[in-house]
Amino acid sequence: MLMHTAFLVITCIACVLSFATYTVRIPNGENVTYTNCNNEEIVWQQVGHVANEHIQGDPFDRNAFGKAFYNANRAWTVQLCSDDSDGDGISNGEELGFPSCSSSDVMKWHTKPESVLLTKPSGHPGICEPNEKTPIDVDCDFQNQNIPAAICPSTATANTAP
């Protein structure tokens, strides 16, 4: 029993540390925030996952950005930068503060990250955040239905008219 418990603890530590290694594989990975339903800004270092250290949920479930990152062989690429994984109308690069998705800037970021000018992240690339660029046919509530932090209690009142 003791060996089994020790194995589980070591496995969990390895998983947590592996998430940290992915954080440095994307621009501003350690600076991504999300403003929740209570208007609280949460630092979200597990950018590719539906849960983080503050939000309950399966830490292994990936959000749309996490799936795209995985499909890009866990690397920052021109395509991943240019894509809008969460469908909110803003590219992953823009949301992460890496607005230039040119191949030269992506290559520079891989070889000498400090030489690339990053801005403050403007959003979360895995959580659909409605904004003026969000396409009319995108329902962010539907897109975010598996992300606990993005599910807000309804503020609508029921129609009680006869």
SS3 state at 92: helix
Over residues 115-139, the pLDDT tens digits come to 998 999 999 999 999 999 999 999 9
* Amino acid 70: pLDDT: 95
Residue written as token pair 């600076």: 31
| CA distance between the termini of the chain | 63
* Amino acid 20: pLDDT: 66
* Amino acid 54: pLDDT: 57
Maximum Cα–Cα distance for the chain, whole Å?
66
Domain boundaries, the chain: 28-148
User: Is 76:109 a contact under the CB 8 Å cutoff?
Assistant: yes
pLDDT in tens, the chain (162 residues): 555 444 444 444 444 444 567 888 999 999 998 888 788 888 888 899 887 665 666 667 899 999 999 999 999 999 999 999 999 999 999 999 999 999 999 999 899 988 998 999 999 999 999 999 999 999 999 999 988 878 877 643 333 344
The Cα–Cα gap between 152 and 58 comes to: 18
